[in-house]
């Protein structure tokens, strides 16, 4: 899956989306992008730590999938931003943040559709993966 393309598409879809990051659990790589003109709340180290914590929480949620189903997304509202985490294909975990003055249900629905479209596109690839050396 082209995570950079997905990050760009999500940011282009709504100017209230501040940040998009995807963690690839297969390679360990993180793809991220900020909305143009948006000031960061976290520096790079804080962003990495936040993503690591989100990954651990997501793994905890998945432990109960046999009983209650696969997690679809998790959302936390902070004073300054909303942060949403969801799966992104087989190997990805998507984390994005929005401004607080948005209707989150609409954005989450739109992002979910776009992720599914990008996952569908990647199904047509040859199945090869980059392996981190």
Element containing residue 3 per DSSP (H, E): helix 3-13
Q: How far is CA 39 from the centre of its chain?
A: 19
- Residue boundaries of the structural domains of the chain: 3-122
For the stretch 27-56, pLDDT in tens is 888 899 999 999 899 988 888 888 889 999
Residue 125's pLDDT is 52
The per-residue pLDDT of the chain, averaged, comes to 88
pTM of the model: 0.84
CA atoms within 13 A on the CB side of 51: 24
Is domain 3-122 in CATH 1.20.120.140, yes or no? Answer: no
Task: Give 3-state DSSP helix, strand, coil % of the chain, rounded to 5.
Answer: 40, 25, 35
Residue 105 has pLDDT above 90, yes or no: yes
Residue range 7-24: mean pLDDT, rounded: 95
Both tokens of 41, joined, read 């709340």
Distances (CA, A) of 77 to 50, 97, 106, 116, 123: 15, 9, 15, 24, 33
């Amino acid at each position: 899956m082209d995570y950079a393309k997905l990050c760009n598409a999500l940011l282009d879809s709504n100017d209230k989306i501040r940040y998009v990051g995807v963690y690839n659990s297969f390679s360990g790589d993180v793809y991220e992008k900020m909305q143009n003109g948006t000031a960061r709340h976290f520096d790079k180290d804080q962003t990495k730590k936040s993503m690591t914590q989100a990954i651990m929480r997501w793994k905890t949620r998945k432990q109960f999938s046999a009983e209650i189903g696969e997690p679809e997304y998790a959302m936390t509202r902070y004073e300054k931003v909303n942060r949403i985490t969801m799966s992104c294909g087989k190997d990805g975990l998507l984390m994005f943040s929005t401004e607080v003055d948005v209707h989150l249900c609409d954005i989450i629905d739109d992002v979910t559709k776009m992720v599914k479209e990008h996952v569908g596109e990647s199904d047509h690839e040859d199945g090869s993966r980059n392996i981190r050396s």
